[in-house]
Amino acid sequence: MKKITYVLLFASTLISCGHNHFKGDAIANSPLPTVSADAEVQIAAPSEQHIIMPGNANEKVKIMDVALQAPPDKNFTADTSKKITKEGELRFETPDVVKTRKNILHSVQNAGGYIAEDTQSKEEGSGDKTYVLKVRIPSKNFDFLIDTVATNADKIDSRNIRVKDITTEYIDTKTQIENKKKLEQTYIGLLGKAGKMADVLQIEDKISEIQGDIESTQGRLNYMTKQVAYSSLDITFYSKSTIADSGTGFTYELKTALGEGWSIVQTTFFFLIDIWPVLILCFAFYWFVVRRKKRLA
């Protein structure tokens, strides 16, 4: 009797395990749930503004105004290197502006830079000559160029250098471009599901808006890239006109006396020319008096 009981218990256990195993296989092998054609497809977004538009005859597409925050692309490597901009102004006096300009142009060319603007002026009163050169130079050669240009100076009037770290702004701008491009692709994908022309036009307007933002942001990024690659330096140099030195020596006194004497001669000459009618009358009167005395004698 006991043997029969043990056999029944063993059989019951086998049946129970087989049933559970069959149930697990049924669940594992069952097909995944499918979404019917009439189901709604929704793109979640932080914004509450949305547009509901029908797709094909058996499909509905709900398009919401999305601010896409997609996960970073595994193939995308962020540029986290330092982004430094440098700019400055240098003003000094030099004895020969022509020679100094030639030396500066040579130094800029050797450093891989270029002249963005070249201006020359001369003051009529004093005769002073002034040059202004706006230089663009690779950032790595910025300090070297300043030291080289300064060797042409007799006296440095001013030297202003500004250094700015724009790493954070640069990375943020680049990230904005990546996100906007992904958002553009999202709307392009939704464009293929739009059925009515009005819906197509609405999505195309949104795509155009995003593309405009991308171009604007890309322009700002390009400007920052150029600022980082090339530093700017405004160089102003001038020469004073030659003026005679004051002193008390014999040479100085002689030059001064000759100059003043010549000035007196010029003044007297022009004064006599101004009063020539009076001189003629005086000469005529003198001649008349002399002749009369001779007759009386």
> Is 9 domain-assigned?
no
Judge contact between 59 and 123, C-beta under 8 A.
no
Exposure letters 86-111 (e unless 16+ CB within 10 A, then b): bebebbbbbeebeebbebbbebbeeb
Do 55 and 158 have their domain in common?
yes
Residue 33 has pLDDT above 90, yes or no: no
Q: Is the pLDDT of residue 82 over 80?
A: yes
Structure-token pair, residue 108 = 């800029």
Boundaries of domain holding 91: 31-243
Same domain, 178 and 209: yes
In a domain, 5, yes or no: no
Question: Residue 297: pLDDT band by 50, 70, 90 thresholds?
Answer: low
How crowded is residue 25: how many other Cβ atoms within 10 Å of its Cβ?
10
Q: Is pLDDT of 172 > 50?
A: yes
Q: What is the pLDDT of residues 217-228, one digit of tens each?
A: 999 999 999 889
Instruction: Say yes or no: 122 and 40 in one domain.
Output: yes
Could you tell me if 81 and 165 lie in one domain? yes
In a domain, 202, yes or no: yes
Residues 168 and 209 in one domain: yes
- Model confidence at 195, pLDDT cuts 50, 70, 90, reads confident
The verdict on 149 and 254 lying in the same domain is no
Number of domains into which the chain is organized: 2
Q: Looking at the domain assignment, is residue 10 inside a domain?
A: no
Report pLDDT for 100: 92
Whether residues 127 and 146 fall in one domain: yes
In this structure, is residue 11 part of a structural domain?
Answer: no
Cβ atoms within 10 Å of 76's Cβ, excluding its own: 9
The 3-state secondary structure of 90-143 reads EEEECCCHHHHHHHHHHHHHHCCCEEEEEEEEECCCCCCEEEEEEEEEEHHHHH
Q: Which class for 230: exposed (0-12), middle (13-18), buried (19 or more C-beta within 10 A)?
A: buried
Quick one: DSSP state of residue 74? T
- 12 is a domain residue: no
In this structure, are 93 and 212 located in the same domain? yes
CB atoms inside a 10 Å sphere around CB 83: 19
Q: Are residues 132 and 271 in the same domain?
A: no
Nearest to 173 by CA among 226, 213, 217, 214: 217
- 191 lies in the same domain as 268: no
